Structures are given as C-alpha cells and as structure tokens.
C-alpha cells in the first residue's frame, strides 16, 4: 500500500493531466477496495493487487457492496492505511527526533495534504486558462499537458471526492484545516468562477472538515467563510441546486458544537469505537477517534490557544451580520433536527 500511495502521489503531482487522472484513480481505487470489499485479504500477496486503479466493473455485485462499519476494524487494508496516516502524525509532532529523513518519508503518506496540493495546482490551472484558440499551428508544451476547462473541472471533482473520502476514513486528517492556508483553498473553490458541481462538492468537503473539529470552524470564521457562503447564496448567478447545498451547510454550521477530545493514535482504538457504535451511524463512530484540532498546525494561521466551541446562539449572531432570516433557520433546526442521526 505504501508503494501504491507513493506512486499515486507522484502522478497527482505531475503537470500532465493524464498522470494526474491516473493518480486520482489509484487513490480512489484504494479507498473503494477498503470500503467495498466484502471479504478480508486472503494472503499478503493479495494486498499487492491493490495497484489496480479502480474496481473492475465486471465484478459481481456482492463483491462491491458496501462493507458494514463493524467489518472495517478487521480489514487489514483499513488498518494498514490507518497505520500509514498515523505514522505521519507521530513523526510530525515529534521535535526531538534525530532522523529528519524519517519525518520527510512518512509525511509524504498523509493523503489529505497531497490531495490539497493537487487541488491547489488544478485550481491555478483553471484560473490561468486563456480563452480557447482554434487549432494552434505550433502548440507549446504547456498547451499539450494542460487540460481544457471541462476536463480540468473533472479532475477537481475527482480530487474533492477523494479528499472527502479520506477525511471520513481518517478523521485526524481534518486537523490540517485548522490552518487558514488550507481552509482558504476550499473558499477559493466556492468562487462563482467555478462550475456548480465543484461548488456543491466543495460544500460537502467543507462540512466534513468541520465534523467534531470546532477549531476548524474558528479558522473558517476568521477568514470570512460566512461572508463567502452568504455572498454565494445571495448571488443571482448561483444555481438552485447550489443554494440548496448552501442552506444545508448553514443548518449544519448552526448546530451546537462538541469539543474535540484527544485520543490515542492507533487503529485498534478506532476498531473499538466501530464496535461500540451502530453501523447505521458511521460518522459518529469515527468521531471517537478525533484528535484536538490544530495539533499539527505549527503556526502559519493555525489555531489560537483558548479558542473553543460556540453555541447555536453565538453562531446565530455571527451569521446574522450577513443574513437576515437566521432566526427562521435556527427555529427550523430545533424543530426538525435534520442532523440528529450524525451523533453516535
């Protein structure tokens, strides 16, 4: 798995859109085999077959049905994936290590940071793409490797989908979004310049970053995330489907927050949490594994000491600066509790 991740990282770091697409599919295939496989690996040799870029469509339906949450704790692939991610956290926090090369090698395996870097590059390519010119006589190398607008959007959507999957499978990865530089990228993806599909997918990722991580919400607020959300909602150019996603996000944002709690960094602890919680509530199961937001911030716009949770009333007052009907949203939230099932 480590070799596959390294190969995928090399691909998504390439300026060649074909290699980028291949790398994203390799990560997607890895996540799919962790989540969809019904049976555990038969032997260590079988694990090397994870180099396939995606699940074969010809496989029977039984082999690709979603795995029960309780079964993940016994899946060698899930435990190995978790171990690789936790290796980054341990080395990233250690300031007394005498082997900097060890830190560099393990940090490369934190999938979330590599996907964020890929998104940043793809977003830059979208914003710098000039109007199309018909049949250039002598195309440059950058024109040959840079995907057209629509194709670049597909790559961004793929990277967002993978990022959401990573953040759900490995909640500690969400702590990187306590740094404003990472949170700001998500707000950039909500720019009206981007297509509605990208805006909707970004809102889903944004919700995932805030799950049980109030420090991330504080970073979101510091960089005027509420202004970005409400401005997009008020814009006459925003599609109806995106406005519905924005309303869902506001409902989620207004919910009272639960403080993040430190937890031991090990896959067995996650397995225990999985077994304690109902398989119908996967998000709550993983939240027991969450670490304190911002532990890996390391400065540069990270979490400020003393920042904690906010109540619904506090967030209502903040959102009221930009939106007039917040009281109706809060009342509807209390009466219908649309996200009650997310709590384990």
pLDDT digits (tens, 9 = 90+) for 101-134: 444 433 444 899 999 999 999 998 876 555 444 4
C-alpha radius of gyration, the chain, whole number: 21
Lowest mean pLDDT of 163-177, 256-270, 278-292, name the range.
278-292
Q: How far apart (Å, rounded) are the C-alpha atoms in residues 229 and 227?
A: 6
pLDDT digits (tens, 9 = 90+) for 212-231: 999 999 999 999 999 999 99
Overall pTM > 0.75:
no
Place of tokens 């010119």: 133
**253: how many CB neighbours lie within 10 A of its CB?**
24
Mean pLDDT rounded to a whole number for the chain:
74
Instruction: Concatenate the DSSP letters of all residues of 124-144 into one string.
Output: HHHHTPPPP-SS-SS--HHHH
Query: What pLDDT does 5 receive?
Result: 87
* Dihedral pair phi/psi, residue 203, rounded to 5°: -65, -35
CA dist list (Å): 277 to 171, 205, 207, 229, 322: 16, 23, 21, 33, 38
Q: How far apart (Å, rounded) are the C-alpha atoms in residues 344 and 338?
A: 15
| Closest alpha carbon to 219 in 112, 115, 304, 123 | 304
pLDDT at 168 over 70: yes
pLDDT at 4 over 60: yes
Q: Which of residues 94 and 195 earns the better pLDDT score?
A: 195
Q: How far apart (Å, rounded) are the C-alpha atoms in residues 136 and 143?
A: 10
């Amino acid at each position: 798995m480590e070799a596959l991740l390294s190969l995928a990282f090399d691909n998504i770091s390439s300026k060649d859109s074909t290699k980028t697409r291949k790398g994203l599919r390799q990560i997607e295939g890895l996540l799919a085999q962790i989540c969809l496989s019904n049976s555990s690996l038969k032997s260590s040799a079988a694990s090397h077959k994870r180099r396939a870029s995606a699940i074969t469509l010809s496989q029977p339906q039984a082999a690709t049905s979603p795995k029960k949450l309780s079964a993940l704790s016994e899946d060698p692939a899930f435990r190995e994936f978790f171990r690789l991610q936790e290796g980054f956290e341990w080395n990233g926090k250690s300031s007394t290590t005498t082997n900097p090369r060890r830190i560099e090698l393990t940090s490369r395996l934190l999938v979330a940071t590599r996907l964020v870097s890929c998104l940043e590059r793809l977003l830059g390519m979208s914003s710098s793409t000039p109007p199309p010119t018909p049949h250039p006589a002598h195309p440059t190398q950058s024109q040959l490797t840079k995907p057209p607008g629509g194709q670049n959007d597909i790559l961004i959507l793929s990277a967002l989908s993978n990022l959401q999957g990573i953040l759900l499978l490995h909640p500690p990865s969400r702590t990187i979004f306590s740094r404003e530089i990472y949170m700001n990228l998500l707000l950039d993806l909500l720019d009206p310049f981007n297509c509605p599909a990208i805006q909707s997918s970004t809102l889903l990722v944004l919700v995932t970053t805030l799950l049980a991580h109030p420090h991330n919400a504080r970073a979101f607020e510091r960089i005027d995330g509420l202004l970005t959300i409400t401005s997009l909602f008020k814009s006459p150019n925003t599609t109806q489907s995106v406005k519905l996603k924005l309303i869902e996000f506001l409902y989620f944002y207004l919910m009272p927050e639960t403080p993040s709690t430190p937890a031991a960094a090990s896959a067995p602890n996650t397995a225990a949490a999985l077994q304690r919680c109902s398989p119908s509530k996967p998000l709550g199961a993983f939240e027991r594994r969450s670490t304190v937001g911002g532990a890996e911030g390391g400065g540069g716009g990270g979490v400020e000491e003393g920042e904690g949770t906010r109540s619904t009333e506090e967030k209502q007052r903040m959102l009221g600066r930009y939106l007039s009907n917040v009281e109706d949203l809060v009342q509807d939230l209390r009466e219908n509790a649309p996200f009650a099932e997310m709590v384990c």
